[in-house]
């Protein structure tokens, strides 16, 4: 009876002429399913026939991606080829009743009120991401019709919910090979060349004696042995405690990001996790992660002050900025290059293409903003590697520190005034911005959080960074979108 209802629902929809191949293939699929034909059961079995766990916050109804994309006859029977599509479903009430607040949930209340009710810091229940395994001839509009027909036979249709369904991204084909483009080969070639240079310089440096020649210094810079010594070296200058503070801070930041990514992904008990994150006594370690990031700025500023105050005469400011820029931008450029060339080829899954598109497309377009340290000011809604916002902040704060200290060395009184003004602005500006934009006073790193950033320190530089922070504060949905 269920399949007959789906057939009736499909036939009575307004199919256009270019959608008829999809309709015909779907009808063949359902008839084969009624006969329990293997290929049809395989394809239908990889789809969620109705939403499960919706009231517990299970937004992602993804079915079985691997089963859909890897049937045993994938290369031998192209006529039954399938594809995997993601449909975004928004559930709306058809009775136009007003939303009401639920202070106390009772079992005999209307479930529609519970679904439509949205409390702060707890994910909404009226949005679904549905994975559909459909014939490869189906277009996005046809997939929307198929999902609508299946959803209409679920328990949600009986509750009076009207779905709005959209398939806004390309479906994943079972026979689409991975493409190794010019960027891929360029990155691999560059890494091979650098590896060979490091190997050759290590061998040459091991056989040569110390000298001040340019060739020796170049070989020493690329020598693996010399660099490994620098990585493991700890200076005994009385600030060894900084290493421990930095390690603990890194642990806390990794914990926060791990919790944020886990909480925003496909989980079956989303509401329970949200409540634990926001109400647990240990929630402050996740919700207030900007304090941990501030620690890195403080450490960087402390080490910077220790270094520049040791100079009797301040070196050339331009050379200091150039050295700092090269130190930061080389590693950042390699990561950006990797995201553009290699990252899309390193995984797969129902949400992989969505996640990759959000990262790779932005880097292919705005990579130059990262290289010029302008990603926090220009086109911030489409930033490449959003978590790299810290690097431009670090560089600009370094430049600001150098300039302020140079003013202090030349005009002591004027330099002190500038330092006081900047310090005062760094304290007042975040509060004003939060008040004007009605933002949370504490950064809430939950499922609704965008990409974490630091509103206190970043706002010292320019209002552009503050705008960037506003775009990514607790008003954005921290998902793969």
Q: What are the phi and psi torsion angles at 90 (to 5°)? A: -115, 120
- pTM (predicted TM-score): 0.80
Which residues partner with 130 through β-bridges?
Answer: 61, 87
| Cα→Cα distances 286→112, 245, 340, 384, Å | 32, 18, 30, 24
Residue 98's pLDDT is what?
66
pLDDT digits (tens, 9 = 90+) for 193-228: 999 999 999 988 887 777 777 888 888 888 888 888
Residues 426/459, Cβ–Cβ less than 8 Å: yes
pLDDT bin (cut points 50, 70, 90) of residue 433 is confident
For the range 168-172, what are the long-range contacts, defined as Cβ-Cβ under 8 Å and sequence gap of 24 or more? 168/88, 168/140, 169/86, 169/353, 169/354, 169/357, 170/353, 171/83, 171/84, 171/85, 171/86, 171/134, 171/138, 171/140, 171/143, 172/69, 172/83, 172/84, 172/85, 172/353
Rg of the Cα atoms in the chain: 28
Q: What is the mean pLDDT of residues 440-464?
A: 43
Helix, strand, coil content of the chain in percent (nearest 5): 60, 5, 35
Got the DSSP string for 92-105? EESS-PPP---SS-
pLDDT digits (tens, 9 = 90+) for 357-403: 878 888 999 999 999 999 888 888 888 988 888 899 989 999 998 89
Q: What is the mean pLDDT of residues 108-135?
A: 82
Q: What is the mean pLDDT of the chain?
A: 81
Per cent of the chain over pLDDT 70 is: 86
Q: Using the predicted structure, report yes or no on whether residue 30 has a pLDDT greater than 80.
A: yes
pLDDT bin (cut points 50, 70, 90) of residue 338 is very high
What contacts 338, CB < 8 A, 6 or more positions away? 187
Residues 439/474, Cβ–Cβ less than 8 Å: yes
Residue 421's pLDDT is what?
92
Q: Which is nearest to 397 in space by CA: 269, 293, 263, 273?
A: 293
| Cα→Cα distances 297→169, 245, 284, Å | 39, 12, 20
> Between the ranges 139-153, 165-179, 270-284, 362-376, where is the mean pLDDT highest?
362-376
pLDDT bin (cut points 50, 70, 90) of residue 354 is confident
Q: What are the phi and psi torsion angles at 318 (to 5°)? A: -60, -40
Across 440-459, b (16+ Cβ under 10 Å) vs e yields eeebbbbbbbbbbbbbbbbb
Q: What is the mean pLDDT of residues 415-421?
A: 90
């Amino acid at each position: 009876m269920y399949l007959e209802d789906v057939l009736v629902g499909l036939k009575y929809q307004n199919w256009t002429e270019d959608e008829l191949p999809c309709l015909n293939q779907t009808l063949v699929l359902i008839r084969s399913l009624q006969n329990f034909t293997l290929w049809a059961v395989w394809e239908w079995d990889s789809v969620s026939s109705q939403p499960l766990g919706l009231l517990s916050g299970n937004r992602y109804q993804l079915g079985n991606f691997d089963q859909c994309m890897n049937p045993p006859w994938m290369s031998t029977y192209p006529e039954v080829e399938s594809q995997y599509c993601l449909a975004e479903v928004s559930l709306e009430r058809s009775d136009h009743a007003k939303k009401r607040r639920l202070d106390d949930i009772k079992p005999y209340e209307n479930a529609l009120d519970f679904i439509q009710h949205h409390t702060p810091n707890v994910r909404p229940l009226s949005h679904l991401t549905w994975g559909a395994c459909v014939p490869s001839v189906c277009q996005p509009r046809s997939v929307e019709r198929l999902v609508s027909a299946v959803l209409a036979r679920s328990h949600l249709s009986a509750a009076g919910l009207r779905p709005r369904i959209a398939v806004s991204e390309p479906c994943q084909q079972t026979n689409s090979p991975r493409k190794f483009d010019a960027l891929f080969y360029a990155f691999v070639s560059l890494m091979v060349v650098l590896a060979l240079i490091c190997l050759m310089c290590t061998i040459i440096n091991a056989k040569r004696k110390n000298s001040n020649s340019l060739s020796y210094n170049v070989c020493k810079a690329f020598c693996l042995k010399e660099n490994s010594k620098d990585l493991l070296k700890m200076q005994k200058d009385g600030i060894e405690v900084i290493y421990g503070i930095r390690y603990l801070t890194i642990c806390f930041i990794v914990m926060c990001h791990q919790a944020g990514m886990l909480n925003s992904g496909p989980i079956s008990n989303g509401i329970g996790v949200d409540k634990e994150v926001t109400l647990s006594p240990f929630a402050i370690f996740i919700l207030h992660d900007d304090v941990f990031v501030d620690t890195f700025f403080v450490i960087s500023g402390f080490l910077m002050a220790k270094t520049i105050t040791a100079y009797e005469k301040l070196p050339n400011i331009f050379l200091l900025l150039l050295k700092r820029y090269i130190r930061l931008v080389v590693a950042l450029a390699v990561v950006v290059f990797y995201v553009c060339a290699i990252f899309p080829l390193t995984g797969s899954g129902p949400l992989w293409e969505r996640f990759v598109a959000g990262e790779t497309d932005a880097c292919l377009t705005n990579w130059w903003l990262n290289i010029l340290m302008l990603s926090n000011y220009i086109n911030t809604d489409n930033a490449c590697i959003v978590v790299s916002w810290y690097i431009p902040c670090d560089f600009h704060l370094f430049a600001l520190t150098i300039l302020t200290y140079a003013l202090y060395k030349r005009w002591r009184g004027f330099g002190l005034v500038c330092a006081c003004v900047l310090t005062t602005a760094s304290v007042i500006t975040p509060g004003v911005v939060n008040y004007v934009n009605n933002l949370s006073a504490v950064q809430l790193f939950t499922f609704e959080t965008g990409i974490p950033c630091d509103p206190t320190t970043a706002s010292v530089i320019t209002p552009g960074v503050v705008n960037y922070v506003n775009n990514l504060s607790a008003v954005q949905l921290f998902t793969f979108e």
